[in-house]
């Protein structure tokens, strides 16, 4: 009697790799479905609201963005809402601006005044005057160019901006790192700008930046300053305690402005916002 040995067919490396890839994409698909389900459930009230009144919209991504804006505004209804503009928004019809979704009043606005050592925003004077005439609490900001002289940048801002009683403190907008100097030297320049502007207007400026930039480069070295922080992350839903202002989207739609706009939340009540404003009669 002859015994025959049967050997199992070996699985080729190619088949094993294919199986691993299939399993990988199955997991990706599962996580994507889970993420969508969570997002849809979490924002269900906002989505239902927005779809019911904005059914003519065609892009799902845009609908989700607008639903998130609505949800965040509703969650912070006891705080104060505002926006920020520059020449990139074009000519603004200030008389048409009052709220978002006819539910959330807009009470303050930050307006770009200058950039670098020699740039004046083309619409600053117009926006600055119109904001006051239409009773918005207004603030002026300077876009800082890290590779340009900090003293000349401060002088540029001081020459262009004239603050009055009821205006917000000046804002330093810093978003980029320098190419031609160390981080330590760069921070010295920022502090020089802040001091020069503080000495001139007799009010401590606010610093605007992104959350990562804030945590990595500024938070530890500028403890005496307050921050206006930008974070558009879908999963960030509440303003943090150490943020004076939160810029939570760049995709808001506001009557009177044709392009998309940044929306902001002040971390306090309307009365507290008034306390933040300048109390002097006029600052030249």
Write out pLDDT tens, residues 106-161.
Answer: 999 999 999 999 999 999 999 999 999 999 999 999 999 999 999 999 999 999 99
The tens digit of pLDDT for each residue in 216-263 reads 999 999 999 999 999 999 999 999 999 999 999 999 999 999 999 999
Domains in the chain (CATH in brackets) are 79-283 (3.20.20.80)
pTM: 0.82
Average pLDDT over residues 50-56: 51
Is it the case that residue 39 has pLDDT exceeding 60?
no
Task: Lowest mean pLDDT of 13-27, 153-167, 173-187, name the range.
Answer: 13-27
Query: Averaged over 154-179, what is the pLDDT?
Result: 97
Distance of CA 165 to the CA centre of its chain: 26
Higher-scoring residue by pLDDT: 6, 26: 26
Q: Decide: 22 and 28 in contact? Cβ < 8 Å.
A: no
Catalytic residues, by residue number, are: 84, 175
**For all residues of the chain together, what is the average pLDDT?**
87
């Amino acid at each position: 009697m002859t015994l025959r040995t049967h050997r199992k067919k070996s699985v080729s490396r190619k088949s094993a790799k294919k199986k691993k890839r299939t399993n990988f994409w199955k997991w990706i698909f599962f996580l994507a479905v889970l993420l969508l389900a969570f997002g849809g459930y979490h924002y269900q009230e906002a989505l239902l609201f927005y779809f019911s009144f904005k059914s003519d919209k065609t892009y799902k991504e845009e609908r989700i963005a607008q639903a998130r804006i609505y949800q965040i505004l509703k969650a912070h209804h006891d705080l104060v809402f505002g926006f920020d503009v520059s020449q990139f928004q074009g000519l603004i019809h200030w008389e048409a601006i009052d709220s978002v979704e006819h539910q959330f009043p807009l009470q303050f606005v930050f307006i770009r005044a200058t950039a670098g050592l020699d740039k004046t925003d083309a619409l600053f004077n117009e926006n600055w005057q119109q904001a006051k005439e239409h009773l918005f609490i207004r603030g002026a900001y300077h876009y800082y160019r890290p590779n340009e002289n900090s003293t000349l940048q401060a002088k540029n801002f001081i020459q262009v901006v004239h603050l009055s009683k009821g205006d917000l403190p000046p804002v330093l907008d810093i978003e980029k790192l320098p190419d031609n100097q160390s981080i330590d030297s760069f921070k010295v320049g920022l502090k020089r700008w802040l001091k020069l502007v503080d000495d001139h207007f007799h009010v401590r400026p606010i610093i605007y930046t992104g959350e990562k930039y804030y945590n990595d480069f500024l938070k530890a070295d500028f403890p005496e300053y307050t921050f206006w922080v930008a974070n558009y992350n879908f999963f960030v839903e509440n303003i943090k305690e150490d943020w004076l202002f939160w810029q939570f989207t760049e995709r808001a739609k506001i009557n009177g402005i044709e392009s998309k706009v940044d929306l902001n939340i002040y971390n306090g009540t309307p009365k507290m916002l008034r306390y933040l404003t300048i109390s002097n009669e006029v600052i030249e």
